[in-house]
Structure 1
Amino acid sequence: MAKQFSEIDERLAGFIDAQKIFFTASAAEGTRINISPRPTDHFHRLGSNSVAYLDLTGSGSETAAHLRVDGRLTIMFCAFEGAPLILRLYGQGRVAFRGSPDYRAFLDAHYASEEPLGARQIVFLDIDLVQTSCGFKVPLFEPAGERPTLDRWAEAKGEEGLRAYRQEKNLLSMDGLPTGFVES
């Protein structure tokens, strides 16, 4: 059933590219485990053992705090359409905050130097294990589309409102760990 690979091959890359959602999982010793759904429109394969996603402003920043302390990150994709499959990417993650050289380089390479509305950081994953499993019990779903709620919220806040929100909500994890977040 489960198969392990040392990298993302062409078949698995095609599977990733066809997905609409992925999930991130992180934790640090003594903290709650964080699992978050993410849209794939900001997910990027950087190579056979490296991926990244642009992370939008949210109510917390658990992943950044956990990566700062522990570094472990798992990204999971599930087939909700077509043939069943679950794909997990395991490895070490790191965060590039707004204004950092890595953040700017990522925007230059993937967003024509334009910062998407509400962007706060880039999460990178250096993959040390790729694993697939059957996914036979993952239900079939038809996507209805993206929710416009976050974009409308960010537009209403404006850049200064988003900065203030991140300063209030994104400096500490729910368990009190510093996220390392710095505003450019």
Structure 2
Amino acid sequence: MGKKFDHITPELQAFIQKQKIYFVATAMSTGTVNLSPKGMDSFRIMDENHVLWLNVTGSGNETATHLLENDRITIMFCAFEGKPLILRLYGHGKAYHPFDKEWSEYLALFPEFPGTRQIFDVKVDIVQTSCGMSVPFMDYDREREELNRWASKKGEDGIQKYWEEKNVKSFDGFETGIFG
């Protein structure tokens, strides 16, 4: 059933590129564990052990906080159609912000989304598959546009103010590093 790899194989890369949703999990040594769904065209495979994902403004900023203290991260994909499969990428990550030198280079790899907040850079150590036979079949309808409309309406100044109010501290009260 399950298999373990030291890199993303071409077959697994093809699987990842077809997925419309993925999940990101991080945790510090104390406080809450964070598990977040991600969508949009926000995931890039740089090579067999290196991935990036673009993060847009949200109500929390847990992943950035957690990676400052503990850089472990897990990204999970599930097959909701076709052959069953669960794929997990275990690795170590860091956040790039607009003030980081790498920002412009990596940002150019993604479509423009209003409210773009960070790019997460993950070095993948372990790739693990499991059966996924209990994951239900689900049909993809379309992307949600509410977040993009909300961020566009706020504009850059409004997004900056929102970050100051909602994204400087994590759920558990730790610094997020959003402003350096």
Quote the Cα distance in structure 2 between the aligned partners of 1:135 and 1:86: 5
**2:4 pairs with 1:7:** no
TM-aligned CA deviation for residue 99 of structure 1: 2.9
Aligned with 1:127 (options 124, 128, 143): 124
SS at 1:84's partner residue? coil
TM-aligned CA deviation for residue 144 of structure 1: 1.1
TM-aligned CA deviation for residue 65 of structure 1: 0.3
Quote the Cα distance in structure 1 between the aligned partners of 2:102 and 2:142: 31
Aligned with 2:172 (options 165, 172, 175): 175
2:153 is aligned to 156
Quote the Cα distance in structure 2 between the aligned partners of 1:31 and 1:124: 23
Quote the Cα distance in structure 2 between the aligned partners of 1:120 and 1:27: 20
Task: Give the aligned residue type for 2:156.
Answer: E
Quote the Cα distance in structure 1 between the aligned partners of 2:34 and 2:107: 26
TM-aligned CA deviation for residue 19 of structure 1: 0.5
1:140 is aligned to 137
TM-aligned CA deviation for residue 86 of structure 1: 0.2
Task: Give the aligned residue type for 1:20.
Answer: K
Poorly superposed stretches of 4+, deviation over 6 Å:
none
> TM-score with structure 2 length normalisation?
0.97
Contact 1:20 1:40 in 2 (8 A): yes
Task: Give the aligned residue type for 2:140.
Answer: P
Percent identity over paired residues: 46
Quote the Cα distance in structure 2 between the aligned partners of 1:159 and 1:181: 15
Quote the Cα distance in structure 1 between the aligned partners of 2:83 and 2:2: 15
Quote the Cα distance in structure 1 between the aligned partners of 2:39 and 2:100: 23
SS at 1:176's partner residue? coil
TM-aligned CA deviation for residue 40 of structure 1: 4.8
Between the two proteins, the alignment pairs up a number of residues equal to: 180
**2:89 pairs with 1:89:** yes
> TM-score with structure 1 length normalisation?
0.95
Q: Give 5+ residue unaligned stretches, structure 2.
A: none
SS at 1:80's partner residue? coil
Q: Give 5+ residue unaligned stretches, structure 1.
A: none
Contact 2:59 2:166 in 1 (8 A): yes
Task: Give the aligned residue type for 1:176.
Answer: G
SS at 1:162's partner residue? helix
Task: Give the aligned residue type for 2:128.
Answer: Q
Contact 1:22 1:40 in 2 (8 A): no
SS at 2:102's partner residue? helix
SS at 1:128's partner residue? strand
Quote the Cα distance in structure 2 between the aligned partners of 1:99 and 1:32: 28
Quote the Cα distance in structure 1 between the aligned partners of 2:112 and 2:165: 21
